[in-house]
Amino acid sequence: MPTSQEHIFGLDARRVALVLGWFEASARDLPWRQPDCSAWGVLVSEVMLQQTPVARVLPAWEEWMKRWPTPGHLAAASQADAVRAWGRLGYPRRAKRLWECARVLVDRHGGEVPADADTLLSLPGVGDYTASAVRAFAFGERAVVLDTNVRRVLARVWGGEPLPATSVRAGERQLAERVTPLDPASAAAWAAASMELGALICTARAPRCEECPVASSCAWFAGGRQGLEEAPRRTQAWHGTDRQVRGRILALLREADAPLIVEGRTALADVEPGQVESCLESLLADGLVALVDAERGLVALA
């Protein structure tokens, strides 16, 4: 590598080394990080962890892996079984996609999770982030992993910004590529370490800069931690939203474990009938719920 590039990478390398050192001493002991965790276990964890905190995912992941330790086990179950087991993790379409993914893995890939990026991206429910995470954490490959936590670390430490932009920009991807170590094992460790730093220390609204291993080299910290107060909050109202009502309908169907008429039920008495109807229609359109008897209005988990 030319000397000029070595000079450019000098500060990057120091920052990365500080974060890696912290991670080695402080990483949470999570089952999907264990050396004996299968690629399937890693994939399941990444799907579950999308917009869901570790504390909620951990028991669900352990139960899921006990019940369906391989794609073949899940593929042999029904979609309704998968959605029912998803419980209250939220965004139940993830359960449907994971079940569909298991069937594709069995039908086209011998029941194994592939390491190839393009093949991973062809799987149901697998996007750029999940494919990169599986390649890094399951196969130890050099992959640029960009989740919300990593993006926040990059924005603050390198960019001096309180929070990253709403969507990933080209410059951000270039920065992430630049700071990711070339060695595959170090790159995978950096992906996990930067993610952990963002989740535990460099949090969105209450960063613990006094505990941060890279605070002395952080551009945002050096600039006085400006702008966080003015940054728009990205929290979304929950009570009364279609997401909440959809979840309540699915909970009813899970608990009943049998077809039932959703509309007019006492458990949904506080919801406008029109919202119940529209949410039920969206669940039907998403394939999470099936119409068992149209004349009577009986529905069940698909």
Task: Provide the pLDDT for residue 7.
Answer: 34
Distance CA 93, CA 117 (A): 23
Helix 3-26 with 184-200: angle, nearest 10 deg: 60
Task: Provide the pLDDT for residue 235.
Answer: 55
Q: Per residue in 48-93, pLDDT tens?
A: 999 899 999 999 999 999 999 999 999 999 999 999 999 889 889 9
Domain assignment of residue 65, yes or no: no
- Which amino acid type is present at position 203? T
Distance CA 121, CA 129 (A): 10
Domain assignment of residue 287, yes or no: yes
Task: Provide the pLDDT for residue 98.
Answer: 97
Domain assignment of residue 297, yes or no: yes
Q: Which of 6, 24, 46, 295 is catalytic?
A: 46
- Which amino acid type is present at position 44? V
* Of residues 266, 257, 95, 292, the one with CA closest to residue 276: 266
State yes or no: is 46 an active-site residue: yes
Q: How confident is the model at residue 8 (pLDDT cuts 50, 70, 90)?
A: very low
Distance CA 85, CA 237 (A): 26
Residue 195, token pair as written in the block? 């993610």
Domain assignment of residue 19, yes or no: no
Q: Given its phi and psi angles, is residue 90 left (phi above 0), alpha (psi -120 to 50 degrees) or beta?
A: left
The residue-averaged pLDDT of 181-189 equals 95
Domain assignment of residue 251, yes or no: yes
DSSP 8-state assignment for residue 231: S
The residue-averaged pLDDT of 152-174 equals 95
Domain assignment of residue 293, yes or no: yes
* Of residues 87, 95, 78, the one with CA closest to residue 253: 87
Residue 3's SS3 state is helix
Q: How confident is the model at residue 257 (pLDDT cuts 50, 70, 90)?
A: confident
Q: What is the DSSP code string of 195-220?
A: HHHHHHTS-SSS--GGG-TTGGG-HH
Task: Provide the pLDDT for residue 127.
Answer: 94
As to burial, measured by CB atoms within 10 angstroms (0-12 exposed, 13-18 middle, 19+ buried), residue 260 is: middle
Q: Per residue in 92-126, pLDDT tens?
A: 999 999 999 999 999 999 999 999 999 999 999 99
Domain assignment of residue 154, yes or no: no
Task: Provide the pLDDT for residue 46.
Answer: 97
Residue 285 CB contacts under 8 Å (≥ 6 apart), including other chains:
none
How many domains does the chain divide into?
1
Residue-number span of the structural domain to which 279 is assigned: 242-301
Domain assignment of residue 260, yes or no: yes
Q: Give yes or no for residue 196 having a pLDDT over 90.
A: yes
Q: Give yes or no for residue 275 having a pLDDT over 50.
A: yes
Across the strands, what pairs with 298? 261, 293
Q: Give yes or no for residue 15 having a pLDDT over 80.
A: yes
